[in-house]
């Protein structure tokens, strides 16, 4: 009976995943992994391809270890969350950014392991996912090559060094840039286990949350993040890595 139950549950689970995948809209980029990622990341939530989700990337990946990506969804109202992912990377998701008092904007650098669509999905208050993105050609190996600091052997000397800067945007908004020295090991290089920054929190001077970001190993070595927050004055931030080390910073008065 137990075998039958497990088989039945397995069949139901397969049916649910297949149903979710079939419910996803037809991918304009024609990625072979789109239905898989749509089912895994969005489940049964509504998905629409939306040109207002601007994913700005270079036409050519000059360095597959450090590929700049900017996501700007400020034309979409009521955005609560941003997920940045590359379909054909071995670690597809780069970051999952949950907005509190922040605008739907984030810029960072990721690794690319091969030619792939790079996408952003933003979730609005009604639960709908709005998706934008584009293909990028890459030589490959970004996720499976050792970080430069590992090759040099000086990564531990600079681990956790933090820099921050802020610029005033329009009334009530601040552009904030945060950088961290960290190898961001993927675990895909022989004899180098996975080791990466996995969480970033941003707060105003009163301690109120402005945004929380989950970060994965496909973000580039020595990660940098630029966001726009609805706050002025002093802003604090803190990263935590997969070993539990914390790297705090603060900008402003």
pLDDT at residue 9 in the model: 29
pLDDT at residue 134 in the model: 97
In the sheet that 174-180 helps form, which strands lie side by side, from edge to edge?
54-56, 67-72, 102-110, 224-229, 174-180, 162-168
pLDDT at residue 10 in the model: 35
pLDDT at residue 170 in the model: 85
The CATH homologous superfamily of the domain defined by 45-251 = SoxY domain (2.60.40.2470)
pLDDT at residue 17 in the model: 44
pLDDT at residue 1 in the model: 34
Angle at 137 between CA 134 and CA 138, to 5 degrees: 125
Instruction: Confirm if 150 and 192 have CB atoms less than 8 A apart.
Output: yes
Give me the tens of pLDDT residue by residue for the chain, a chain 253 residues long. Answer: 333 333 332 333 343 344 444 579 999 999 999 999 999 999 999 999 999 999 999 988 989 999 999 999 999 999 999 999 999 999 999 999 999 999 999 999 999 999 999 999 999 999 999 999 999 998 777 777 777 777 677 788 889 999 999 999 988 899 999 999 999 999 999 889 999 999 999 999 999 999 999 999 999 999 999 999 999 999 999 999 999 999 999 999 6
Domain residue extents for the chain:
1-44, 45-251
């Amino acid at each position: 009976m137990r075998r039958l139950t497990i088989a039945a549950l397995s069949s139901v689970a397969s049916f649910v995943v297949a149903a979710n995948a079939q419910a996803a809209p037809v991918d304009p980029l024609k990625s072979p992994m789109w239905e898989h990622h749509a089912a895994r990341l969005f489940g049964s939530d509504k998905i629409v391809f939306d040109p207002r989700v601007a994913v700005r990337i270079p036409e050519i990946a000059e360095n597959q270890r450090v590929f700049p990506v900017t996501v700007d969804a400020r034309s979409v109202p009521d955005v609560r969350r941003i997920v940045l992912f590359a379909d054909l990377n071995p670690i597809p998701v780069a970051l999952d950014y949950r907005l509190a008092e922040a605008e739907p904007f984030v810029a960072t650098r990721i690794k690319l392991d091969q030619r792939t669509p790079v996408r952003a999905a933003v979730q609005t208050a009604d639960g709908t996912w709005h998706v934008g993105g584009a293909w990028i050609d890459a030589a490959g190996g970004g996720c499976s090559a050792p970080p430069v600091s590992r090759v040099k052997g000086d990564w531990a000397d600079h681990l956790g060094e933090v820099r921050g800067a802020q610029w005033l945007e329009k009334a009530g908004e601040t552009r904030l840039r945060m950088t961290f020295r960290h190898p961001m090991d993927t675990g895909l290089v022989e004899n180098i286990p996975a080791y990466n920054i996995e969480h970033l929190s941003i707060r105003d001077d009163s301690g109120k949350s402005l945004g929380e970001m989950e970060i994965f190993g496909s973000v580039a070595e020595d990660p940098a993040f630029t966001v726009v927050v609805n706050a002025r004055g002093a802003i604090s931030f803190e990263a935590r890595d997969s070993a539990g080390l914390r790297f705090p910073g603060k900008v402003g008065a």
